[in-house]
Amino acid sequence: MKIYLAGPDVFLPDAVEMGRRKAAICAAHGLAGLYPLDNTVDLAATDASRQIFCANEAMMDEAEAIIANLTPFRGAGADPGTVYELGYMAGRRKFCLAYSNDPTVYAGRLGRLAEVTPDNGRLVDAQGLTVEDFGLVDNLMMIHALELHGCPLVTPVKQPVDVWHDLAAFETCVRMAAARLIAT
């Protein structure tokens, strides 16, 4: 049973090692983790980014499930590249799981990074754009996609000290995936 491992982990200084750790956790639960950096891409090629895309898409098509790391990335929300992959897998009707190592609600988190003010019964940012305020950890499309196409978002009770390397919430996703994919 193959699971695609999506996340901004690929941008970490120890990205390759993170992939190894995640794959080892999958293996301990009887699953095969597919990690984008396992693909061989010629980064010096003029079409390197396209090669990466095609390799990632082929990996997703091969997998039966996705575990996406939705920990906030360069702002209040998840990494768009990872979110694209979650959407793609939901569209392919694969089993969708995700975690975020920041358990706080989106509106509150944004309020700590930028100006958020009440305006006529809604919250708005400095540009006057509505701030989603449904008490969810991130945009409702991802949160409810997980509920309806897999398992609800996994978050720790308390944010770990190292949000990029703590894999407890990831392992919970792996356990849920194993229970679902190996049982059926």
Tell me how far apart the alpha carbons of residues 82 and 134 are, in angstroms, rounded to a whole number.
22
Q: Which stretch binds its own copies (CB under 8 A): 22-30, 68-76, 150-158, 166-174?
A: 68-76
**105: Cβ contacts below 8 Å, ≥ 6 apart:** 135, 136, 137
- The torsion angle over the Cα atoms of residues 11, 12, 14 and 20, rounded to 10 degrees, is -70
Tell me how far apart the alpha carbons of residues 56 and 167 are, in angstroms, rounded to a whole number.
22
Q: Which stretch binds its own copies (CB under 8 A): 23-31, 131-139, 153-161, 168-176?
A: 131-139
Nearer to its own copies, 21 or 175 (CB): 21
Show contacts with its own copies in window 38-57 (CB under 8 A).
48-50, 52-54, 56-57
Structure tokens at 15: 């990205």
Positions touching its own copies (CB under 8 A) are 8, 10-13, 15, 48-50, 52-54, 56-57, 73-81, 83-93, 110, 114, 124-125, 127-132, 134, 136, 138-145, 147-148, 164
